[in-house]
Amino acid sequence: MSAIDTAPRPSRAPWLRALASVLLLAGLFAWVGPSSLLGVLETLSIPWLLFALVLSVPQVLLSAWRWQFTTGLLGMPLPLAHALREYCLGNVLNQVLPGGVAGDLTRAWRHARTASATRAAWHAVMIERAAGQLVLLACALVALPWAPSIGVEFRNGFGQNLTLGMSGIVLALFAAAVFFAGRMLPAVAWFGRDFGQAVFSRRAWFPQLLLSLALVGSYVVVYLCCARALGVGTGALALAPLILWVLVAMAVPLSLAGWGIREGAAAGIWMLADLPVAQGVAISLLYGVVVLVSALAGAFLLLACPSPPVAPVDVASDSPG
């Protein structure tokens, strides 16, 4: 067999995700109707749009701060300025490459090159992202009783207790999965140990929770600004629970930067809430544009302000013992 035959071939999965985004968006446009979408988008308010863009800046700072805090707990101190630059780079890659995780992988790889414990560098990125998604899911579950139409049956004591119970079950299942998988796979055991140290230890849990809640709040506020930019008058307390579930759907890594999945989720959620579907899709489209523009602005600053490389950090061995 020749060397050409044995050479690894590039995976088609990334381009299939991009194709999925295109097909999902095309299907939504055909279903909702281009005229309906344009009718919502033509009411765009530039001041509200600019406000959404400005508010997206602290999001990157909070995310970089959470990553820096996590790496420090795992014995890999990282300057905040460097963490901010790396997060800006990761955001750009997440936006322009299929899957939505290429930037996170690049961030972990670049950090691993500066330390002797590559496992901790990879775990820090995985933990920072997983902790944020767990808090987002918990917020979405807790807010469900206040969602218009969707949460009508939950707006009593039983429903609220049920929602809180569901949040606890999700966290318990996650912990159990890590524990039992760790009994069989040493790599999972290492991750579980690092996750507990970086998220649930005495010095970690409150800052992690506070930073993640601040980030979730900032996502919702930016989304609300996009809604106001399109003249949507629905109250913020009614929209916030719906927005949280759209953000949860965006975490599914089966598209290009969430495009298509985010709009499809918005269409379904707005329909369940008895709100105009075209309105939900239009807000989601505008939110995607805001996220993309803010990421590209971060890339511009990254290129305009180069920084010296970070000195290698010598940390503990990667062995589990």
Nearest Cα to Cα of residue 280 among 98, 48, 31, 56: 31
Chain segment 60-71, per-residue pLDDT in tens: 899 999 999 999
Q: Which residues of the chain have pLDDT under 70?
A: 1-15, 99, 115-117, 149-188, 301-321
CB atoms within 10 A of CB 105: 17
Q: Which amino acid, 308?
A: P
**Run of H or E including 121:** helix 118-143
pLDDT at 161: 53
% of the chain surpassing 90 pLDDT: 29
pLDDT at 226: 95
Give the side-chain half-sphere CA count within 13 A for 296. Answer: 8
pLDDT at 306: 56
pLDDT at 172: 60
For the chain, domain boundaries: 14-304
Q: What is the mean pLDDT of the chain?
A: 80
pLDDT at 10: 47
Q: Does the model's pTM come out above 0.85?
A: no
C-beta of residue 287 within 8 angstroms of C-beta of residue 262: yes
